[in-house]
Chain A
Amino acid sequence: MTSETTTAGAPIALSDSQRPARFTDTLASEWVKLTALRSTSITLALALVLSIGTTALATVAVAATQDEWPANLDPKVFWAIGNIFSLIVLSVFGALAATREYSSGLIQLTLTATPRRGRVFGAKLVLVSVVTLLCGMIATVGMFLIAQAVLGWYGLPVMDLGDADARRTVLGMGAVMPFFPVVGLALGFLLRSTAGAITTVLGLLWLPEIFGEVMPMWWRENIISLLPGKAVDSFTLGHVVQSPSYSDPWIGAAIAGAWLVAVVGAAYLTFVRRDA
């Protein structure tokens, strides 16, 4: 505020009931915006039902038809077969948290109410991370427990969370659940298009899974291992599963972190600077 611009217009005095807005106001606002939508609870319920349900059905299918656990299926990770559905649904959830603003034209109002754009970006980042973390944890623990329950029912060997390897897989997989949803959110801010953001995040999630295993060894070791999906998997599964596409778990975590910083950083800088 310079002296010449204040001569005629005295700043409006705020009354007692009026106060400057804070980051917690933005966070509360985004929370109301999200939870007031019926689609939010449906989406989160869908992630849980699809992932835990798929694991239950697949485990029943194997256990009911085999006398022993088949050697070609790894019991340490088989229970996580439904996880891909949590990943897909929650990644879409993350992307929509950003793109809904643009498809509905809401963004103008959001930024008029909160012109400090970093706050809007930060609030959405926190909400998507926390919600998908909680949902991811419930999904992975749920998948693990239901798989063990089915195996026990059929008299096959079971694991429990007292087992260090199993615990690390379950908690690790839940802990990294926000990774792709946050990438989806960032892509949503970058592309401002629902279709574009979802296609890109699911491509990033799926393509290495589909084509990674058929690539020549050099590619798997040096290229595929640098992609976010395999980097995340090396962290969550590297201690129980061997794969040429995996890095050392902590190197995997570092690669995934670098992806996150790059994508989220680019989205932040774009969102803060670009015309809304």
Chain B
Amino acid sequence: MNHTSSFWDKFTGQRVSRRRALQMSALAGASAGAIAIVGCGGSSSSNTTPASSGSPAASKTSTGAGSEGTPKPGGTLHGTVSLVLGKDPMKASTFLTHALASFSYSRLLRFKTTIGELGQDDWYTTEMELAASVQNPDPLTYIVTLRDDVKWQNLPPVNGRKLTGDDVVYSYNRYRSISPNKANFDMVDTVTAAGQVVTFKLKEPFGLFKSRLASFQDLWVMPQEFIESSDTASEDRMLGSGPFIFDKFEPTVVMSWKKNPDYFEKDAAGAALPYLDAVNLAIITDQNQVLSQFAAGQLDTISVPPKLIDSVKGQSPNAVIDQAPRNILSMMIFQPESFTGAAKPFADERVRQAFSRAIDRDALLDLVSKEGGEWPNMPINAGFGKSWWLDPKGSSIGSGGDNYKYDVAEAKKLLDAAGVTNLEVPMHFSSTVYSTVVPYYDIVRQALPAMLSDAGIKVKEVPEEYGNYIAQTFAGKFDGFAFSLESVFSDIAAYWTNMFYPRDAGGGRNHSSVSDAELAANIKKMLQAQSVDDLHQQNFDLQKYTSQKMYYVPMVTPVEFAARQPKLKGVLNSTGPTTYGLGTEAQLKNWFTA
């Protein structure tokens, strides 16, 4: 199965040009919304294959805006999301709200985007948004100087007032009081403003602080007058400094925006941004509907369930297809008592390793995606790119890599060595929602018990509808193990802390209550690293360690697809985990050919 053996290598070939498309996760509604409902932000980092993948001519056209012609202002973009669950990105825990925020709101920094190919080195680096510059005179101080030309959208109660440092401080304080993700800024001591200069004083060094400022889940700058104009103002509409002005929202029908004529950014030629007159997101939960709408030309851009790409190509031969492994982590999580109280059998790492070795990941990938996919590491997924994700198939992973190799005999040996025989164990899973969100969830969770039974493990399936699954199993109240999905965070640090710190100390997603003091200490050490190389190295070392420990058993990361009509140009491509942004991140430079 060559397509699964080395995904990245394949894309370094000439056949297809590699670039990462924001738009996939972005307007790629089905999955985006889907993820939202998982409560598990997904970011699809996408590699783009130009329209007719395979045609050498196409692969050459994918660099730079120039090749697409001069942008033409006007037009309405028709996209889709599967659900809208709130409009206030600070209050929300779900990914979808965050994904929609940058239509109307801005952050200090954002993740780097480009039209055309974004090299791996640029993945996951930041660029300026509201900030004109960021200085880091010492490890504990970040001085952000705001642009001087940013105005709030020209609507009451702000009426186009200038955005100042005080607005940032207000937003920070609000974030720290109401956001479910507020622990992400626990390293900050004080935030002060003087005119357009905002100073962040940290309690301890944090190497990824600029990424945090760019994060989708955290510091959105929102105007005080608007928030305080009524109790529900921030849920009724959106009013910020972003490129689009909130127009209307009808539940399960549509959410739409109009162009903000006073938006502060200009394109390279000095023309006003955004080019689009309006954005219309149809709210459609059913993927079947989404695909039909796209085929009928009613939608300009969608995400495509990985198995169905051929059907889309058949119905829309001219569509431009982007592809990439998405950053949703799929994994087995183990009964928390395994780590808090040494409960059998999962307290023994050999049992967890045996579970991992019993899984034929390539067979699963072959089943769920036309282009196969990657093996995630824990907790860093393939979507982060090779500078962050340590490939379990690569050579640098060391002996931990063996734990990923499909080897039933070895799995049985490990079980024997651990003294586990005739293991019969419950497997929890969600019977609703996840299967809509992540097209391969249902297939993998059915194949899992069959694979484990080959290794002599008998699985008792425990279906839970989504509401119950999230409140109980996901929150760490379960026996046996569960097949689960993980929220998508904006940076690797959030994964490490959320999944391995103690629950009450920033480990909000430590489903299995993993308590490994050494690992936690090493994570902390890594986060304080000041040089990027050091950070990368420590991140890899930690992944080697977790590959050995298998606190969570990572499953598969299939290649997923997005499709767009060929008339849609100026699609911005961005970095791995952050790619779930819409608005600024994806639609800022969109335009239509005639």
A and B: partners?
no
- A: residues with CB less than 8 A from B are none
- B: residues with CB less than 8 A from A are none
